[in-house]
Amino acid sequence: MTLQVEVLKPAIGAKVQLDRAMIGDPAVSQELLALLERHTVLVLPQIGLSDAEQLALTDALGERVNVAAQVPGRADAAAVYEVTLNEGAAIEREYVFGTFFWHMDGLTVDVPPPKASLLSARQLAAKGGQTEFATTKAAYAALSDEEKADLEGLRVVHTVTASVREVCGPEGIDEARRALRHEHPLVWTRRDGTKSLIIGSTADQIPGMNQAEARALLARLLDWTAQPAFSYRHEWQEGDCVIWDNPSALHRVVPYAVDSGRRMHRTGIAGVEALA
C-alpha cells in the first residue's frame, strides 16, 4: 500500500489522500480499485479535479460510461454529467429531485449498471446537499439465514416512473424516461461470491408477489440498509471527489434549495458484470 488511507466506518467509507499527479499510475489505480472493493465509498478530500482530470481518473479505473446517454434521444449527453438544479441545466429537474431518495445509478437502462460512480463538488449549497451512502453488501450480509433464504430467486422491476413517485406523476417526466424499465435480481451474486441487495427508489414491482407485499418488503430492506452501522453521510468541501461502488451502495442527497447554486460533476465506470 502506498496511499494514505483513513477508515471512516468499519462497514463503509475510507478517506484516501490522492495527489492529482498520481492519476493514471497503474499501481495506484489497482490500489484504488482494491480499496473501493473493501470500503465501498472512497473520499478524495479536496483533490480539486478539473473535468479532464476526472475523466482521466475514470478512464484509469475502468471503461468510461455515461448512463445519461443511454436514454433514447440523449446520446449527446456530455461525458461529464452536471447534477444541478440551476436554471438552464441540461438535466431534467424531476430527475435531480429524484436524487433526494435512496437509489443506485443506471438500474433502468439497457447496459449493466455502472461498476462505480465518481462525483466532484464544484459548488456547494449553503444548506443541505450532503450525500449519504448505505452499503447493501454489508446490509445483506447481516440478514439472518432465514431472511436470506426468503429473498433467494426474487426479481425486481426497476422503472424511472417509480423513482419519481415522490416527485411528480409519470406525466412529469418525458416519454423516453417514462418508458425506461429493467428487471434485476433482488440479490446480486458477483463472480467472486459476494452478494448485495439491488434496491432503491427505482424498485417498482416484484413479479409474482402482490404489490403491497412487494412494496413493504422493499421498504423494509431500504430501512434495514440505511441504519447508521451501514451508512455514511459525506459533508462536502469544495473540490472533494467521492467514488462509490454503485451496485453495492445506495446513495441520496440531503435536500437543498432550487436556487442554492449546488453543482456536482458526475462520471461513471462501466459495469463489467451483468447483474445475475
> Can you give the binding site for Fe ion, defined by CB under 5 A?
105
Nearer residue to Fe ion within complex by CB, 31 or 98: 98
Nearer residue to Fe ion within complex by CB, 105 or 245: 105
List CB contacts of 34: < 8 A, sequence separation 6 or more.
none
Contact predicate 93/1, CB 8 Å? no
Nearer residue to Fe ion within complex by CB, 205 or 246: 246
Residue 36 belongs to what H/E stretch? helix 26-39
Nearer residue to Fe ion within complex by CB, 31 or 105: 105
Kindly state the smallest distance separating residue 117's Cβ from Fe ion, in Å. 7
List CB contacts of 189: < 8 A, sequence separation 6 or more.
195, 276
Nearer residue to Fe ion within complex by CB, 57 or 118: 118
- Count of CA atoms in the C-beta half-sphere (13 A) of 193: 0
Alpha carbon 133 to chain centroid, angstroms: 8
All three cell numbers of 134, joined, read 448505505
Calpha distance 207→14 (Å, rounded): 37
Kindly state the smallest distance separating residue 133's Cβ from Fe ion, in Å. 10
Kindly state the smallest distance separating residue 16's Cβ from Fe ion, in Å. 21
Kindly state the smallest distance separating residue 145's Cβ from Fe ion, in Å. 32
Residue nearest to Fe ion (CB): 105
SS3 at position 43: strand
Kindly state the smallest distance separating residue 111's Cβ from Fe ion, in Å. 16
